[in-house]
Amino acid sequence: MGQKLIIVIATAILLITGVLLGYVLSQLVLGFLTPNLLTLLGTFSLIIIFGTLYYVLFWEFRRQQSQTVPAGRTPPSRRDQRGPDTHLKNRLVSLAGDATIAERLVDRVKQDYPGMPENWYWEKAIADLESDSP
């Protein structure tokens, strides 16, 4: 809840600051506001506030994404955390010729693609073996 509140408040301030910055810049360009030290410092401070909030928002979004499951990957279910299906395991062992070779192939795939469900690793190892065979 705290992170969402920060995001909502920062977004609101960012929108207000952006509107103010756009208004001040348009008034400067149109000539309705004279460019003096006060208007230049005010415009500069609006730019600093806008940039800082923009950075904080994207930093917060990136931090939230790193805590959640990466995009395009589904979180592993309880079934996937137990181990692979026996059908997949038997198929890979029969293709590899030995259970230890099959385990090494799966371990290599796990190193290349961390964070995937267990069955996915076995399916990938099977697909790799099948694509290598003539």
In sign, the C-alpha dihedral spanning 30, 33, 38, 39 is negative
Of the pLDDT bands very low, low, confident and very high (cuts 50, 70, 90), residue 46 is confident
Locus of tokens 């099948």: 130
Whole-number Cα distances in Å, 34 to 23, 31, 46, 77, 90: 14, 7, 17, 63, 79
Q: Is the pLDDT of residue 79 over 50?
A: no
At 18, list the tokens.
């952006």
Higher pLDDT, 121 or 1: 121
Cβ contacts of residue 76 below 8 Å, gap of 6+? 116, 117, 118
Of the pLDDT bands very low, low, confident and very high (cuts 50, 70, 90), residue 75 is low
- pLDDT per position as a tens digit, 84-133: 788 888 888 888 888 899 899 999 999 999 888 988 999 999 998 888 76
What pLDDT score does 82 carry? 61
Of the pLDDT bands very low, low, confident and very high (cuts 50, 70, 90), residue 78 is very low
